[in-house]
Each structure stands twice: as C-alpha cells, then as structure tokens.
Amino acid sequence: MSKNLVIVESPVKAKALQNYLGKEYSVMASYGHVRDLTTKKWGDKNSNNGYDIILDESKVNLTWAVETKSKKNINEISKFIKDKKPKSIFLASDPDREGEAISWHLADELKLLDKKNVNRVVFHEITKNAILESFNSPKKIDMDLVDGYKARRVMDRIVGFETSAPLSSAIRVGGRATGRVQGPSLLIVNNREDEIQAHQALEFWNIKVDLVNNKDELINVQLKGNKSNKNHFLYDPKKDKVIPIPDEESANILEEKLSKSEFNITSINKNKFKSKPRAPFTTSTLQQSASSELRMAPRITMSIAQELFRGIETGSTVLNLITYMRTDSTFISSEILTSIGEYATKNYGDDYYSGTRVYSKASKNSQEAHEAIRPTDIKNSPEKIKNQLSDQQYKLYKLIWDRTLASQMTDSVSEKTVISVETKENDFLLESEYIESVFDGFKILDQKTNNDIVPKLSLDEKLILEKVHKLKNFTRPKSRFTEASLIKELESSGIGRPSTYASIMDRIQYHKAVIILRRSLYRTNVGKAMINALLPIFGDHFISLEFTSEMERNLDEIAQGKLSWEKVVCEFYENFQSKLEKLKKIGENNFSGENKEKVVDPSSAHHFTDIHCPICSGKIDLCGEEEFDQTEGLREKKHSCESVHMKWIPIKKKSPKDDGAFLACEKNYNEKGRTDHKSYLPEKCWASIGRTRKNNLEYFNETILAKK
C-alpha cells in the first residue's frame, strides 16, 4: 500500500516522477484537462434552469462537466483514493494558470477541496532536485490563479459561442466565429493588408559601379552623394520627400557623367564594433525563432517543447530536457548560470566566457516568476543525445540549448571597413562597405557566419571604371505578417499571453479568415468581411486592440487577487450583449426581403495574391473558400478552372515521374476548362507536410515568380 498519491497530467511525466519519488508514492495521470463548461445556451437571472453560465448582476454561476475522454481516468483515480486511502495527495500539474485550473478541477471533481491532506506542488523543471524541493514545501491551490482562468475561459466562451451564428449570417458564410483575442489578431492582419493594398509604388533608381585597381581586383561601390550631401543620391522613403534619381532619364545622365570620370580612393575607415548575444528564450521568442529558423508552426513548436519538458522515454528512464515552456521571463537561476559558465570555459576556452550575464527577470505582462526556457542540464549537448530524439525534437532542443549557452558567452567583435571613392570632375562620392569577423565570441555556435573579403587598397589609389549598373526600384509596402512577426506584434500590443499565441494562430486560419502562403499571412475575403461586420459594432469592445490589452491586464490582476473575476465578467458581458443585438439584426436582414438577393457571399470572391504565373505573369488567385489547403490533402470538388484557380487538376501524365497536376493561373482558359498556363509541380508540394513539403516548396519558389 502506497502512503501518498501524486496526480500529474501525462503518463510520461508520471513515469519520471515515479522514478524520483520512489515506492512511497503512487503517481497517476489525469491526461490533461478533465472538465470543461457544458455547451448549452446562455442565460441571465431570468433564464431557465440548466444553463451552463448564469449571470446575475455581479455573480456568475458555472456548470462544469467531466469530458468524455477523462471519465475513465477520473474513475480510476477516485477508486484508488477510496480503496488505498493515501496519507497525502499531491496535485502536480503544470506551473501556470492552466495547470492550477487542472489541479482545481481534479480537487473539485474528486471532492478534495476541503481535505487537509491535499496539497499543490509546483516545479518548473522535472529534475530530482526541483521535484524533491517542491515536495518539501507544498502549498494549497492558488484560487486567485483559478479565478483568472475562470474569467478568461468564460469570456472566451461568450465571444466564441455568441458571435458564431450572427456573424455567419452577417457575412453569409456558414460556420464562422471569432474570439476574444482572435478578433484583434485578425484586425492586425487586416490593417496590414489594407496598408499593402493602399500602397502606391514610387519609382526610384540606384547606381552601382564596378571599379578595378592596377592588380585587376574588382571593387563594387555605390553612388551615394557628393561633398555637400554625402547621401544625396540615396532615397529613403521613410525620410525623404524628394526622389534624387526618379527615372531612367536621370539615371542615364549620371551614367554618362560617371563614364567620363576618374576615380580615386579618398579614405579607408576601419571601426570595430561588438555584437551581444540575445537573451534566453521566452515562449514568444521561442515560437518566433522556431518559425523563422526552423520553419516550425507555433502549435508544433509548443507541442514538441512540451514533450521535451515532460520527458522523452528512453527505455526504463525518462529524459527531461528543458524547463517549463510557458514563460515570459528571461531570468536564469544563479546555480544554472554557474554550470553554464563552467561548460563554456571547459569546451570553448576562457576567452569565450567573461562572467555571468543577468537579463531582466520578466516582461511587463509577466504572469508568474518562471525562469526562461533553458536546458535542465547544459552538459546534455544536442549531439550527445541526438540519437534519443526525433528530428524535430533535436532541432528544437538544439535551438534552445544554443540560445541558452550563447546568452552567457562573450560578445563577438567585427570590423567594418568603409572605402570612400571620389571623382575629380563632378564631385561624386561612392562607397563600399565590408564586414570582417575579428573574434567570433558567442557566434562560434553559429556555423553560418559570413566574412567579407576586404580588398587591399591604399589612399589616393586610382581606380578604373569597369561598368555602371543602373538599378530600377520601387518603394514597397510593409511586409505581410508571418506567424513569427504576428506573435511579436501581439506581445508588443499586450494581447494574448504565452499559453495563447499558438492557439490564436490556429484559430484565425481554421476559420479561413487568414491563410498562409509561403510563410506570409494573407487576409482572405472572408476575413475582410468578418472585420467589416464586427468593427463598426465591437470597435470599442473586444475587437479593439486597446480594449483587449486592458482586459488582459484585468485578467492578470484577477490572478493576483486584485480584482473580482465575477465583476469583470459581468461588466464585460453587459456591454457585449447590447452590441451583439446589432450584429444579430444585420444577419436577420441578410435573409429577408430584397436583401436576400443583394448580399454577396465573400467566399465566392476572388483574392489575387502577389504570386505570378511563370508563363504570363498573371496573378495566382485564391478563390474564396476553395483555395488549396497546404496540409489537408487534395479536395475532391468539381469546379471549373475559371472559378478555382489555385487547384490541382489531374491531367495525362507525360512521364512516370509526373504527378499529373498543375497550378493554374487566372488567364486563357479554353472551353474544356484547361489552360496552357500551367506549372508542373509535384502533388506533394501542397499536399504533404514536414520536410517533404519544405523541399517541394523550395521547388515551388523557384518556379513561381514573386512580384518584386
């Protein structure tokens, strides 16, 4: 008979704790969340009984139900408690609001809330020392954190459930919904798309010159300005109102002058500068780096990070590799910093470690006093344990390990060389810049470091003109968001928290409000229609960036015990409900009288991307809801090429290697719905996932021309 019971979320985590705690403890898994709000209608104090959320002035009554998948596990845990009568029960779920909520749900469902022998233990890494320390100082469930969870869960449910039907009616696209944080996230993408569409490209030219010295060494310089204004010929759209070289005629005049000039080196300036390593990972910076460097979606990143935290089974043992992956802190404990310093000195030398670097403890939106995401043991190098990890686990662990070690290593030192060239005849100033590495420092971990080769030149040396390059350019709008840059924007706007970023990315894509094309987030016509319907009504409520940021601060204060969760929810719902009626009326009007025929379903509209057909340069069209989904496989829907342009259409195979499919463009369809404008691509380019898709998308990028 065991003396104590420990309840965790996952069986892998249970196995790790069992190994550390020994025979006096029995560790059981709840398999994640065990309860959720029931899915009945909403109500207030006048509603019928049985509603899952009843709001009565400043009181909120909730009805929770055990999820079907959890009933068996709950019954097994309940039976163990009844039969074994453990001396103590420890709730050891993850150390954040969600984890606190899981512990509360378990205690409430198992009728343990008032039991004195029930304790909460919290640890941010699954190591023997951390676990034993937490069991030596157990505590009670933090009901402030639980209240913060309740408020967040209820408001998310209110917005998601209540807006679904009227929003779908308002835009005439079924099955659509928004969310308390998904709405503002879509608004950010929508606003950026509006900026891009409104941008008017301005033409400007740059001039670069190839020069050679008496040793026939080639030097590339750019025309920058003259003595009176060293940047006269460079155009910066953010600063300059006048374009110095606005057209080809102006460029030709300068080319002619340069062709008649003599070029002398007037200065060679060298300056050394340092680059500091970046701070250890927080949740958001991990997702951003994994997205940009590993091409890993936030959802996948968090799933793999959770595996690395909870443990990788290696036979009879469990390898727990990183600290808890939901954090907004860059802090690392002094004990771990010492071990990192010793590792850096031993493996790279004294020059690569200059002492402890202390980073700020947490961001302004920090929830808990977590550490940064770091390896539990820096001596577990990625190469050492590579054979025990999957390919994705290895890549993500290496990313975390490298960033942690680099954060404590010395600065890199580089030297910038600026070679200035002038012409005697017309006072032109031309420059060339080179960057050389003097000391790699923390960059020793990055094998991609580039180093310019600086030509050996001397002052007053004469150079001979080889060629003048006239480069035509157009001003560009801001780039579309990627998942990484959108997460960064959300964090800087105070929207969402570490545990929500991945789900935000998933939800706005799930409802086809946004699609990803070559890593960029495109607002679809459905997304535009959703914003057009919601913004006039909820523009000062949950769609507002300022409102949502303020609400996130309120939720943080609830979790700190500073605000009443019920009061915040009731005030939110009262304001929300009055606005919701306006949205419902729009939806009702769309299906009555003459309006029924006038309203256009946005999912039937065309959305032309900035990807061009390689044959005719026509823009590829993502036609409403029928665009090809990169990861779901081929859709078996019969549509003509005229209405669905980014579709795989079977054709006769020309060779055994041909998948018999092409990516059609918007132009020149014949009577049979076929086109001569086709790009033969492997079906896997869109239908597959992972490395196969990545390789095929590289081929796709080479084949389809992007608008410049």
Tens digit of each residue's pLDDT (9 = 90 or more) over 169-212: 888 777 788 999 999 999 999 999 999 989 988 999 999 999 99
Question: 566-573: which pairs have CB atoms within 8 A and are 24 or more residues apart?
Answer: 566/58, 566/59, 566/60, 567/58, 568/151, 569/55, 569/60, 569/151, 569/154, 569/155, 570/55, 570/57, 570/58, 570/59, 570/60, 572/155, 572/158, 573/55, 573/155, 573/158
The single residue listed with the structure tokens 């590792």 is 343
Helix H or strand E encompassing 265: strand 263-275
E-strand ranges in 480-523 read 514-517, 520-523
pTM attached to this predicted model:
0.81
Helix H or strand E encompassing 537: helix 525-538
Any idea which of 62-66, 562-566, 598-602 has the lowest mean pLDDT? 598-602
Start-to-end C-alpha separation, the chain: 72
Comparing 224 with 525, the larger pLDDT belongs to: 224
pLDDT band at residue 156 under the 50/70/90 scheme = very high
510 given a catalytic annotation: no
Catalytic residue among 324, 348, 353, 522: 324
Any idea which of 51-55, 262-266, 660-664 has the lowest mean pLDDT? 660-664
**Nearest to residue 21, comparing CAs of 133, 184, 189, 147?**
133
Asked if 25 and 2 touch (Cβ cutoff 8 Å), the reply is yes
- Return mean pLDDT, the chain: 82
The single residue listed with the structure tokens 């869109």 is 686
**Nearest to residue 311, comparing CAs of 29, 15, 9?**
15
**The pLDDT value given to residue 241:** 83
For residues 190 and 531, give the distance between their C-alpha atoms in angstroms, rounded to a whole number. 8
**Nearest to residue 612, comparing CAs of 705, 517, 678?**
705
Q: What is the DSSP letter of 411?
A: P
Checking if the pLDDT of 602 tops 80, the result is: no
pLDDT band at residue 662 under the 50/70/90 scheme = very low
The single residue listed with the structure tokens 């390593």 is 277
Checking if the pLDDT of 685 tops 50, the result is: no
**The pLDDT value given to residue 395:** 97
Asked if 470 and 451 touch (Cβ cutoff 8 Å), the reply is no
Checking if the pLDDT of 75 tops 50, the result is: yes
pLDDT band at residue 650 under the 50/70/90 scheme = very low
Checking if the pLDDT of 508 tops 60, the result is: yes
Comparing 564 with 684, the larger pLDDT belongs to: 564
What tokens appear for 61 in the block? 């009554």
**The pLDDT value given to residue 362:** 53
What tokens appear for 680 in the block? 């033969």
| Ordered structural domains, the chain, with CATH | 4-141 (3.40.50.140), 167-199+479-553+578-602 (1.10.460.10), 203-275+415-474 (2.70.20.10), 283-406 (1.10.290.10), 606-708 (no CATH)
Tens of pLDDT, residue by residue over 537-561, are: 999 999 999 999 999 999 999 999 9
Checking if the pLDDT of 643 tops 50, the result is: no
Cα angle 429, 435, 436 (rounded to 5 degrees) comes to: 140
| Residue 477 CB coordination number (10 Å) | 14
**The pLDDT value given to residue 606:** 53
For residues 279 and 405, give the distance between their C-alpha atoms in angstroms, rounded to a whole number. 10
